[in-house]
Amino acid sequence: MMIPPGGRGSGTAGVGGFGREVDASGDRGDYSEFDEFSGYSGAGLFNDTPYDKDDAEADDIYAQVDEHMDNRRKRRRELKQLEDMKKARRERPKISDQFADLKSSLKGVSDAEWEAIPDIGDHSLRYKASQKKSDIFTPVPDHILDTRASTTASNVVLGGDTPLQTGTSISGMTSSLTGLAEARGAVLSLKLDKMSDSISGQTVVDPKGYMTELNSLKITSDAEVGDIKKARLLLRSVTMTNPKHAPGWIAAARLEEVAGKVVQARKVIAEGCESCPT
């Protein structure tokens, strides 16, 4: 008859399962300084073991193995980097490599050819930005335009169609007469042309009405008087610098006529006839 082992009686097979028997003493050791990642942080398992020659030889062997593996990986890395660099240079070569042949040919350039190379100028982004700022158009305010228009409206430059410039070709003879004075001269010239008889050369003018109309043409504005004075000085300078120029005397006489000084106009035209008999 077989006797069951201790701790197991009949009918208890499989009831408790296959578990680890509990140590009767309950002594599991001191695991207070043990870490699952780094092990024992303080005293190691072999801290009390003496370090002999065998341990030093083993450490040297492990160091040589690590160095060999690192060198093999380093060689592979260097080869890989070299291949990648060559591939990048083939796909995107450097500017210095592209112009290497041209740079070598610069050895034969003479000093005269080098000095004849034109300057490329400044085409940087900063220069373009500054130029763009200077090209910005700023519209002029309306009040400035209105002021300028009102100022220039009273100043009329003598042109080829004005009675003062008819038949003249004086270079640079420009004066600022008022629009009113010019209009009066133009109206007077047109009336004289209409009154003249193209067949007999005689005029059909009413003396009383003509004198009355001339008396009504008076200059009362200070600006008009100033413009007449400027024109008189200009024409006086023309007649003095070139007394043989007949259109200058004619223009001076017409100016006095427009200003209403008929006697002075006759005097000017008489001086012109003496200076220019032909």
Q: Which DSSP string corresponds to 105-174?
A: HGGG--HHHHHTSPP-----HHHHHHHHHHT---PPPHHHHHHHHHHHHS-EE--TTSTTSTT---TT--
- The answer to whether position 169 is within a domain reads yes
Mean pLDDT of 193-212: 56
- pLDDT, residue 179, reads 63
Shared domain check, 183 and 76: no
Shared domain check, 158 and 271: yes
- The answer to whether position 142 is within a domain reads no
- Last residue of some domain: 69, 96, 123? 96
The C-alpha atoms of residue 181 and residue 168 are separated, in whole angstroms, by 19
Does residue 7 have a pLDDT over 70? no
Closest CA to 264 of 247, 248, 249: 249
- The answer to whether position 120 is within a domain reads no
The C-alpha atoms of residue 255 and residue 228 are separated, in whole angstroms, by 8
Mean pLDDT of 211-224: 59
Mean pLDDT of 91-115: 84
Dihedral sign for Cα 242, 244, 247, 251, please.
positive
List C-alpha distances in Å: 218 to 184, 207, 212, 257. 10, 19, 12, 12
| 260 within 8 A of 218, measured Cβ to Cβ | yes
Shared domain check, 253 and 170: yes
- pLDDT, residue 45, reads 59
Question: In the structure, what pLDDT confidence band is assigned to residue 168 with cuts at 50, 70 and 90?
Answer: very low
- Mean residue pLDDT of the chain comes to 71
- Last residue of some domain: 96, 112, 135? 96
Shared domain check, 270 and 192: yes
- The answer to whether position 223 is within a domain reads yes
Mean pLDDT of 155-162: 45
- Last residue of some domain: 77, 96, 115? 96
Shared domain check, 269 and 158: yes
- The answer to whether position 67 is within a domain reads yes
- Orientation of helix 222-241 relative to helix 246-258, angle to 10°: 160
Determine the structural domain holding residue 172 and report its residue range: 154-275
Question: In the structure, what pLDDT confidence band is assigned to residue 157 with cuts at 50, 70 and 90?
Answer: very low
List C-alpha distances in Å: 34 to 25, 26, 27, 28, 30. 22, 19, 16, 13, 9
Q: Tally the domains of the chain.
A: 2
Shared domain check, 172 and 78: no
- The answer to whether position 2 is within a domain reads no
Closest CA to 254 of 275, 276, 239, 240: 239
Shared domain check, 268 and 163: yes
- The answer to whether position 79 is within a domain reads yes
φ/ψ region of 19 (left if φ > 0, alpha if ψ in -120 to 50, else beta) reads: beta
- The answer to whether position 178 is within a domain reads yes
Computed over its alpha carbons, how large is the radius of gyration of the chain?
59
The per-residue pLDDT for range 175-197, each reduced to its tens digit, is 444 666 677 777 777 766 666 55
Shared domain check, 160 and 87: no
